[in-house]
């Protein structure tokens, strides 16, 4: 069912002084004389949308735009002051339309109108919020809009979230359509956030009070490998269902917001494989496809029924399709108010999920497609960084948009794109770019993302941005070489296989980008920060200036170490805060090994001793050509290995 209609109509921007300020084709000309028309008693949503338009247009035209409740001259009519019927607009969607030479905007639900105000500024006036710190809004004397302009939008997803840096900013989230409540705070007049009430994941133990009933009611515990365990509850035990239902209803009673678009209570398995194998559970599963998701959906369905019966129409119950519950059951269907959250943790991210040639993704696609046949409310927990080697490039840029399209085409209604949530102390590669690509793809999965990326790169990296684009393309090409796949913990060597020749070319591109960015301190900082990912990779793989053929390689390692710290990089992977800072072999071991050589470890001192000896003799070795021969032999060995 395609309920979304999104019409992109050509909007012609007349930038200040570039074109005559009149409508040759009878289009609508917006200029500094326009006002924002609101009803006499506006709602908080209408006030917010009107103020957003007012401040945006005032900036564009360099004059204070008025907000009025009686039309005088040309205007943008907002909400119930417009000629547009809100009942015809999709929930949380909007309609923008030129009518009789004026513009009209109306929206539905808790966030449609506000989203429409941002869209109007973006579509007709070129306003882009690329990061929390970079907003582009061209000034103009007037702007021409087609006389029949019409943009109709319905959200593709009811829940959108990601934990990269800028997406946590409210203004960025409003402009780029992110609404999850875990990583941002949006005020009531902004429409608020979609919140998980209670826990975000692995809530089963708490909700079922498994540990508390360990001794009194062991039959409530999972029977796994012949023993009762508190790791999971028995999902077919009536008392367990009663306890969990009572706890879920308690959460609902305490945190229900009838005005929210949707609220979610997570009933999700604990993070282990020790599901119940009692006769009753096994019998139920045998009748429903022989998979553990059968007892899970049956359990969650009954809680969802109780929540609905209690009158909580906007609360949905969320459960996982994860590890042992990833496969869909047969003969049982999740209720409308049940969310099935599928995790892509096992997948490959240099190939699209629906790429039939990627064996890692084929299994997940089958599960997604099976679930989509029985469930109209799938959520996805997706991954967008390398958690083991976060400092190098994670080459998923070519699959971000396609994967989100795949989700949309398979009944996915909510997406959480987990990234480097620890970016505040580990930011070296292209986090802001990726965040923008994710947000734009969630907002408009079929948008012209290439154009969006170009706009971002130019604003963020400055005039040398095309070099950066080529660098990214080279990384993608290397990662997708024949037979290679990239998981969320890919090694540095597995990720890319650049030859010394490739390295020289990419070095030249970075140098060109830096040279072009040199005049702007911020832009240069962005380029140099992202370049750290490249230097980190070269050090890890002993390439370029880190090659064992370069006598200065020891200094290069130390320089990289110092630069990382200067850029606030306090860890080189997930959970590694401070882990590399006390390495005593910084000068001598590749960057991806820096976590392994701490002062209190004997092998670190042995390595340090022999490395110092090697460094001492390096000039001599070079003099006699011996070093070169040895180096070639080592290089040949490592290539052979």
Which residues contribute to the site for Zn ion (CB under 5 A)? 234, 236, 276, 278, 281, 348, 351, 358, 485
Q: Contact, 250 vs 240, CB < 8 A?
A: no
Least distance CB 388 / Zn ion (angstroms): 17
DSSP strand pairing (412-418 vs 94-99): unpaired
Q: Which is nearer to Zn ion, 395 or 431 (CB)?
A: 395
Give, in order, the Cα–Cα distances in Å from 605 to each of 259, 277, 551, 582, 612: 63, 51, 22, 13, 10
Q: Return the closest-CA partner of residue 292 out of 305, 271, 276.
A: 276
Q: Which is nearer to Zn ion, 98 or 281 (CB)?
A: 281
Least distance CB 363 / Zn ion (angstroms): 12
Give the torsion through C-alpha atoms of 37, 39, 41, 47, to 10 deg.
-50
Give, in order, the Cα–Cα distances in Å from 86 to each of 148, 542, 579: 19, 61, 55
Residue 395: helix, strand or coil by DSSP? coil
Q: Which is nearer to Zn ion, 475 or 538 (CB)?
A: 475
Q: Contact, 294 vs 314, CB < 8 A?
A: no
Least distance CB 401 / Zn ion (angstroms): 17
Q: Which is nearer to Zn ion, 351 or 553 (CB)?
A: 351
Least distance CB 361 / Zn ion (angstroms): 6
Least distance CB 278 / Zn ion (angstroms): 3
Instruction: At 475, list the tokens.
Output: 């990384």
Please spell the DSSP secondary structure of 482-539, one letter per residue.
TT----TT--HHHH----HHHHHHHHHHHHHHHHHHTT-HHHHHHHHHHHHHHHHHHH
Least distance CB 368 / Zn ion (angstroms): 16
Burial of 451 (0-12, 13-18, 19+ CB in 10 A): exposed
Q: Which is nearer to Zn ion, 119 or 224 (CB)?
A: 224
Q: Which is nearer to Zn ion, 358 or 517 (CB)?
A: 358
CA distance 213 to 219: 9
Least distance CB 398 / Zn ion (angstroms): 12
Q: Contact, 327 vs 291, CB < 8 A?
A: yes
Q: Contact, 165 vs 423, CB < 8 A?
A: yes
Least distance CB 392 / Zn ion (angstroms): 18
Q: State the Cα angle at 123 between 117 and 124, rounded to 5°.
A: 90
Least distance CB 360 / Zn ion (angstroms): 5
Least distance CB 240 / Zn ion (angstroms): 9
CA distance 633 to 623: 17
| CB closest to Zn ion, residue no | 348
Q: Which is nearer to Zn ion, 236 or 270 (CB)?
A: 236
Q: How many helices (H) and strands (E) does the chain have?
A: 18, 19
Least distance CB 102 / Zn ion (angstroms): 52
Q: Which is nearer to Zn ion, 216 or 259 (CB)?
A: 216
Q: Which is nearer to Zn ion, 484 or 618 (CB)?
A: 484
Q: Which is nearer to Zn ion, 304 or 358 (CB)?
A: 358
Q: Which is nearer to Zn ion, 414 or 487 (CB)?
A: 487
Give, in order, the Cα–Cα distances in Å from 505 to each of 317, 481, 485, 544: 52, 18, 24, 11
Q: Which is nearer to Zn ion, 485 or 595 (CB)?
A: 485
- Phi (first) and psi of residue 557, to 5 degrees: -60, -45
Least distance CB 171 / Zn ion (angstroms): 36
Q: Contact, 157 vs 415, CB < 8 A?
A: yes
CA distance 125 to 30: 10
- Phi (first) and psi of residue 334, to 5 degrees: -60, 140
């Amino acid at each position: 069912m395609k309920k979304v209609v999104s019409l992109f109509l050509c909007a012609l921007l007349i930038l200040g002084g570039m074109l005559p300020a009149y409508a040759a084709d009878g289009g609508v000309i917006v200029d500094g004389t326009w006002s924002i028309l609101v009803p006499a008693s506006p709602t908080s949503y209408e006030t917010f949308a009107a103020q957003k338009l007012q401040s945006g247009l005032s900036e564009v035209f360099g004059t204070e735009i008025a907000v009025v409740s009686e039309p005088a001259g040309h205007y943008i009519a907002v909400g119930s002051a417009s000629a547009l019927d809100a009942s015809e607009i999709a929930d949380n969607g909007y309609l923008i339309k030129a009518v009789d030479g004026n513009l009209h905007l109306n929206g539905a639900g808790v966030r449609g109108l506000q989203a429409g105000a941002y869209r109007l500024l973006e579509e007709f006036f070129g306003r882009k919020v690329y990061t929390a710190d970079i907003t582009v809004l061209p000034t103009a004397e007037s702007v021409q809009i087609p006389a029949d302009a019409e943009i109709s939008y319905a959200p593709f997803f009811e829940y959108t979230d990601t934990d990269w840096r800028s997406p946590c900013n409210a203004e960025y989230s409003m402009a780029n359509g992110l609404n999850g409540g875990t990583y941002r705070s949006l005020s009531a007049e902004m429409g608020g956030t979609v919140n998980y009430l209670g826990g975000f994941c692995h809530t089963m133990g708490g909700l079922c009070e498994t540990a508390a009933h360990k001794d009194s009611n062991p039959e409530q515990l999972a029977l796994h490998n012949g023993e009762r365990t508190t790791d999971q509850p028995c999902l077919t035990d009536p008392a367990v269902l009663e306890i969990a239902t009572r706890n879920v209803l308690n959460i609902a009673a305490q945190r229900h917001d009838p005005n929210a678009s949707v609220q979610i209570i997570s009933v999700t398995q604990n993070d282990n494989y020790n599901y119940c194998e009692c006769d009753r559970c096994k019998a139920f599963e045998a009748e429903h496809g022989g998979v553990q998701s059968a007892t899970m959906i049956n359990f969650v369905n009954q809680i969802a029924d109780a929540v609905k019966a209690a009158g909580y129409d906007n609360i949905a119950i969320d459960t996982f399709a994860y590890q042992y519950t990833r496969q869909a059951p047969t003969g049982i269907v999740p209720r409308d108010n049940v969310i099935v959250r599928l995790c892509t943790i096992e997948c490959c991210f240099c190939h699209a999920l629906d790429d039939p040639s990627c064996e890692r993704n084929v299994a997940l696609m089958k599960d997604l497609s099976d679930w989509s046949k029985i469930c109209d409310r799938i959520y996805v927990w997706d991954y967008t960084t390398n958690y083991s080697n976060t400092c190098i490039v994670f080459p998923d840029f070519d699959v971000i948009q396609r994967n989100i399209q795949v989700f949309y085409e398979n009944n996915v209604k909510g997406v959480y794109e987990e990234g480097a949530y620890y970016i505040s102390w580990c930011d070296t590669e292209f986090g802001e770019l990726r965040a923008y690509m994710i947000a734009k793809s969630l907002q408009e999965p079929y948008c012209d993302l290439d154009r969006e990326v170009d706009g971002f790169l130019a604003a963020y990296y400055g005039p040398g941005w095309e070099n950066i684009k080529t660098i990214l393309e080279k990384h993608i090409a290397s990662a997708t070489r024949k037979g290679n796949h990239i998981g969320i913990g890919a090694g540095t060597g597995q990720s890319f296989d650049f030859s010394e020749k490739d390295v020289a070319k990419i070095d030249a591109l970075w140098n060109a980008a830096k040279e072009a960015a040199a005049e702007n301190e911020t832009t240069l900082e962005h380029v140099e920060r992202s370049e750290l990912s490249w230097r980190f990779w070269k050090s890890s793989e002993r390439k370029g200036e880190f090659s064992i053929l370069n006598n200065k390689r020891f200094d290069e390692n130390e320089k990289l170490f110092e630069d990382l710290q200067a850029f606030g990089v306090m860890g080189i992977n997930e959970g590694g805060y401070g882990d590399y800072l006390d390495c005593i072999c910084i000068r001598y071991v590749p960057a991806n090994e820096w976590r392994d050589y701490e002062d209190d470890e004997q092998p670190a001192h042995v390595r340090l001793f022999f490395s110092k000896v090697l460094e001492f003799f390096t000039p001599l070795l070079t003099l006699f050509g011996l070093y070169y021969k040895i180096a070639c032999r080592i290089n040949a060995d490592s290539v052979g290995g």
